Amino acid sequence: MASGFKYINIRAWEQYLESATHLTPEERKDIERKIDGYQREVEAHERALVTVEIFHHTTPATNQCYCNTTPTAPKEPKEPVGFLDLPGELRNTIYRHALLRPEPIDGIDDYIPEIGLLGTCKIIHDEAGSIFYGENNFTFGLSIDWTGYAEIQLCGFPRNLAVWPARTYHPYLKRLHIKFKFESGAPNDLEGPEVMCTQIRAMRKAYDSIWDELDIALDFVHSDFSKLTFTMAWLKFRFFEAIAHPYCDIWVNDKTPRLVVWCLENALRGIDVSDHRLQLEPEQQVALNDATEIAQDSHSQHGGIFFPSSCSPVAQRLVWGAPFEILPPPPPVVQLPPAVPGVLLPHIAHIVPAGHVNVNPAPGIFPGLPPPVAVPILAPQMPRRRIYNRWDMFEALQNRPDSELKDILMKDNELRVFAALDMPEESKDLIIKDSIELRVYFALQEGAAKIIALTRSMVETAQKEEGNQLGVNVYKKGNGWGDLMLCCRSTRVS
């Protein structure tokens, strides 16, 4: 349109200049400058169609040439603007206002009518689905009871879906909130039912493609861990190793024992015993290996130095640290005051018939007699006892192979050492007074800690003294450290 307009103006300009022979050179240049200005204006508005009317007007005073412009561009009809014609940022804002929720969403209790947006068309389905499933927090519940039910009870799953959210939207999913109701059961329930183990692995497999990238929160609501001992905790929490996530958030009750939380974190974050070993100093690793060899020899098939069998130590550890219970005392015995001869007690005076002669001649004996006072005699407080009995556990474990119980003891020893190193303030709770085996473990670790501290102090002293390389050479060669470690061990164990 702009090129055609230029041609029309050029033709009008040529015709005018050919017919107007009376114009002076200055007037011709003036008209040329005006036509050039109109052409630049048209180029700036390419879609505007302007008709230039050029006419010559002569006044009595001077001859002047005027150029008049009249816009005559036709208006193009506007197409109707739809939702998809809006900018992408505006559409995303609308999706977020309609689909985002501040609380986690489950598949049954939450009703979101705006979810119908995903069924409008494919473009809106992809755009809205990426925001709904990618920016919301989805939740479901698992009820795990080791004694009451053989299967895991699912909560928050739509009945027509095998997994929530559906696998179609897993590429968008970023956050998952799993609630657990955990019933620990008895101490001798060392392994969960196979059905439950299969279900927990199937749930993990459903999210296999995105599990490592998910932001996962594991919330143990309505879960009572107060009855768990240290050994019971790590044995039962092995059940969760299938859904371990290295960066998951774990939420438990504030009253949960710190040692139980430590076991739960190790299981749910996939921390293995070998990972703890890598964090030990070389001296600590040597001490741990020595203690393990001593413990393995003590649980040999021919009878050991300390324990002839592994069944009794496992039973002891399963119940050690469990909370106590106090037997309810018998009801208090009410003792009445001794009766006064010839005096009717107030609590039977109402049965004396009217006009009856008082057997006690003392006047005013009834009004002045104080009411009997019941003197309760409280029964002595019953002794406390643990809620689990070691001998009951011993009978329950007798049918298990000794090799299995030995493996439990070996791992329990190492885990107690690692927990004590991570939590020095709780280390005393890990020591069983009647277990010589655990005392050997801790004695060797204390000896290794002294060796490490002594080595570091000698190295620091040698570095401070210029030219004195004695401490550095001793540290590098390791002369005499084996004798020193043996000395420390024999001193602590004895």
Residues 467-488 pLDDT 10s: 554 444 444 444 444 444 444 4
Give the CA angle between residues 412, 414, 416 to the nearest 5°. Answer: 70
pTM of the entire predicted model: 0.66
Q: Which residues contact residue 7 at a Cβ distance below 8 angstroms, ignoring those fewer than 6 apart?
A: none
Alpha helices by DSSP H, listed for 207-281, are 230-237, 258-268, 273-278
Tokens of 328: 């309810």
Query: Residue 75: what pLDDT?
Result: 61
The residues of the chain scoring below 50 in pLDDT are 1-8, 47-71, 302-307, 343-345, 347-352, 356-366, 469-494
Annotated domain spans of the chain = 2-71, 83-270, 278-305+402-493
The pLDDT score that the predictor gives to residue 460 is 82
- State how far the Cα of 299 lies from the Cα of 281, in Å rounded to an integer: 27
410 is written with which tokens?
Answer: 């070996």
Of 58, 76, 74, 75, whose CA–CA distance to 66 is shortest?
58
Confidence at residue 193, expressed as pLDDT on a 0 to 100 scale: 80
Helix, strand, coil distribution of the chain in percent, nearest 5 = 50, 10, 40
Beta carbons within 10 angstroms of residue 167's beta carbon? 14
Report the DSSP pairing between strands 153-155 and 333-335: unpaired
Q: Which of 235, 439, 218 is nearest to 319 (CA)?
A: 235
- The tokens describing 430, both together, are 């890990």
- How many angstroms separate the CA atoms of 100 and 128, rounded? 10
The pLDDT tens digits for 248-282 are 999 998 888 889 999 999 999 999 888 898 889 89
Q: How far is it, in rounded angstroms, from Cα 436 to Cα 438?
A: 6
Q: What is the DSSP string of 266-335?
A: HHHTT--HHHHHHTS-HHHHHHHHHHHHHHHHHT-TT--SS-S-SHHHHHHHHHTTPPEEEPPPPPPEEE
